[in-house]
C-alpha cells in the first residue's frame, strides 16, 4: 500500500541520517567485522541476498520485497542500529549493509535508493554498477546473537507485564558467559535497572521463557498485586469474548461464502494470537495467585 511504502521510505531515510550523523565516512567496498554483532548482521545480510535473488529468479517479486523489508526493518534497524548506538560501535558495517540494501531495493524504489547510493559515496548509478551476491556465513555468531536477542525480548515482555525495576535470570550453563557479557546491553535495551543471575526460580514469580532459559520477577517485588490481578482478569474476559466472536464468524457458512480467503486467514491468525495471549495471561495469574 502507499502508506506502507511511505513509512518504509521514512525508515530508510531516518536510518541513513542516524548512521551518517557526525561522520564523513562513505560505505566501504569490503566488510571487515570487528565483533560478533557485526558477523551476525553480515550473516543475515548474506542470507537475505540469497533468499531475495532466489525469489526474483522465480518471479516472486512481492516475496522479494518482503524479504528485504523484514531484514532491513526488523534485523538491521530494530536491532543492529540499536546495538550500535548502545555500544558506541563504529559505523563502517552499518554503512556497508545500508549500501547493499539500497542495491537490492533499487528496482522497487529507484529514486530514494539512487539518492542514498550517491550519499554513500558510490561513483556509479546503481543499475549500471556491478552486482555480485554477498557471501558471508558465521553460524556460531548468528546463533549466539539470536539467543541474546531472545533474552532481551523476554526481558522487555517481563518489564511490560510487571513494571518492575529489577529482574532475575536462570539460564543454561553454556549461556551464562553470554548473559554476563551482554549485561550492559540487556539493561539498556530492556530498560531494567538491575538483572540478577540466580540458580533457582522462586515459587511465586512472573516468568517469561527464552531460548536458553527463563527471566522472572519475584511476585514480592511487584507493587499493587491485587490491582494487577484485577486488570489481568479483565484482559482475560475481553480476550475470551474476542475469541468467541471470531470463532462464531468462522463457523458461519454464510460469512465464509462471502468473505475473501485473505480475510478468513487473517481471522484464523487472530484467533491463534488471542489464544496465545490468553495462555500467557493465565500463566501470569497463576503465578500471582500462588
pLDDT tens across 256-281, in order? 988 888 889 999 999 999 999 999 88
Residue 1 in this model has a pLDDT that exceeds 80: no
DSSP output for 80-146: IIHHHHHHT--SHHHHHHHHHHHHHHTTTSHHHHHHHHHHTT-SS-GGGS---------HHHHHHHH
pLDDT tens across 229-238, in order? 898 899 999 9
Full-model pTM = 0.83
Q: Long-range CB contacts (< 8 A, 24+ apart) of 192-197?
A: 192/155, 192/159, 192/164, 192/165, 192/166, 192/167, 193/165, 193/166, 194/165, 194/166, 194/167, 195/155, 195/166, 195/167, 195/168, 195/169, 196/166, 196/167, 196/168, 196/169, 197/168, 197/169, 197/170, 197/171
pLDDT tens across 89-110, in order? 889 999 999 999 999 999 999 8
Residue 128 in this model has a pLDDT that exceeds 70: no
pLDDT tens across 167-223, in order? 999 999 999 999 999 999 999 999 999 999 998 877 788 889 999 999 999 888 887
CA distance 248 to 138: 48
Amino acid at each position: 500500500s502507499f502508506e506502507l511504502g511511505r513509512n518504509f521510505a521514512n525508515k530508510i531515510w531516518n536510518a541513513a541520517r542516524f548512521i551518517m550523523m557526525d561522520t564523513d565516512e562513505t560505505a566501504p567496498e569490503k566488510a571487515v567485522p570487528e565483533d560478533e554483532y557485526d558477523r551476525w548482521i553480515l550473516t543475515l545480510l548474506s542470507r537475505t541476498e540469497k533468499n531475495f535473488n532466489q525469489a526474483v529468479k522465480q518471479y516472486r517479486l512481492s516475496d522479494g520485497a518482503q524479504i528485504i523489508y523484514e531484514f532491513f526493518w526488523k534485523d538491521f534497524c530494530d536491532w543492529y542500529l540499536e546495538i550500535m548506538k548502545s555500544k558506541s560501535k563504529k559505523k563502517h558495517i552499518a554503512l556497508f549493509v545500508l549500501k547493499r540494501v539500497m542495491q537490492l531495493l533499487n528496482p522497487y524504489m529507484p529514486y530514494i535508493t539512487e539518492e542514498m547510493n550517491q550519499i554513500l559515496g558510490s561513483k556509479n548509478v546503481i543499475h549500471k554498477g556491478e552486482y555480485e551476491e554477498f557471501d558471508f556465513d558465521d553460524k556460531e555468531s548468528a546463533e549466539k546473537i539470536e539467543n541474546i536477542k531472545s533474552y532481551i525480548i523476554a526481558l522487555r515482555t517481563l518489564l511490560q507485564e510487571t513494571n518492575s525495576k529489577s529482574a532475575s535470570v536462570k539460564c543454561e550453563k553454556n549461556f551464562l558467559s553470554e548473559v554476563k557479557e551482554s549485561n550492559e546491553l540487556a539493561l539498556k535495551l530492556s530498560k531494567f535497572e538491575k538483572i540478577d543471575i540466580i540458580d533457582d526460580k522462586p515459587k511465586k514469580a512472573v516468568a517469561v521463557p527464552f531460548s536458553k532459559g527463563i527471566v522472572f520477577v519475584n511476585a514480592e517485588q511487584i507493587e499493587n498485586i491485587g490491582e494487577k490481578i484485577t486488570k489481568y482478569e479483565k484482559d482475560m474476559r475481553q480476550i475470551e469474548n474476542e475469541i468467541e466472536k471470531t470463532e462464531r464468524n468462522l463457523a458461519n457458512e454464510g460469512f465464509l461464502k462471502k468473505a475473501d480467503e485473505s480475510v478468513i486467514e487473517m481471522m484464523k491468525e487472530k484467533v491463534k494470537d488471542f489464544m496465545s495471549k490468553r495462555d500467557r495471561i493465565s500463566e501470569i495469574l497463576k503465578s500471582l495467585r500462588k
